[in-house]
């Protein structure tokens, strides 16, 4: 899995994306759909129409990183969005669950943990 710096925001695009797009095409979607700059250091996630592939686009100093996962069977469970939302913000735990095939409904039931003093 990706090792992201603490505080990196993660945005998930609800709309299916043409997976023939690469760095420049996905950067254009970040600007048009998310209305953000890809160089801000956030992680942007995209899925295809069938829901069996996911791409992540992330800028780190020195260049863009494109990460791609294709499932052999099944589909990813997509995070829920409200009507008309083009994207949502998710956290690193939800990303790990999404990629690992864990139901995202259980992510909303995570318990708050106390840190040892």
Prediction pTM value: 0.81
Q: What tokens appear for 77 in the block? A: 């469970």
Domain ranges of the chain: 10-103
Burial (0-12, 13-18, 19+ Cβ within 10 Å), 103: exposed
- Cα separation, 47 vs 56, whole angstroms: 9
Per-residue pLDDT of the chain (117 residues; tens, 9 = 90+): 457 788 889 999 988 999 999 999 999 999 998 899 999 999 999 999 999 999 999 998 889 999 999 999 988 888 877 777 778 898 888 888 888 877 766 655 555 556 655
């Amino acid at each position: 899995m990706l090792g992201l710096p603490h505080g990196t925001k993660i945005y998930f695009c609800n709309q299916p994306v043409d997976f023939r797009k690469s760095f420049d095409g996905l950067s254009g979607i970040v600007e048009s759909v998310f209305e953000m700059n890809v160089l801000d250091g956030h992680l942007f996630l995209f899925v295809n129409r069938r829901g069996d592939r996911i791409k992540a686009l992330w800028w780190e100093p020195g260049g863009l990183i494109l990460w791609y996962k294709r499932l052999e069977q099944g589909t990813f469970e997509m995070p829920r969005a409200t009507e008309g939302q083009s994207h949502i913000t998710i956290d690193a735990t939800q990303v790990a669950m999404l990629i690992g095939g864990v139901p995202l409904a259980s992510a909303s039931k995570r318990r708050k943990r106390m840190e040892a003093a």
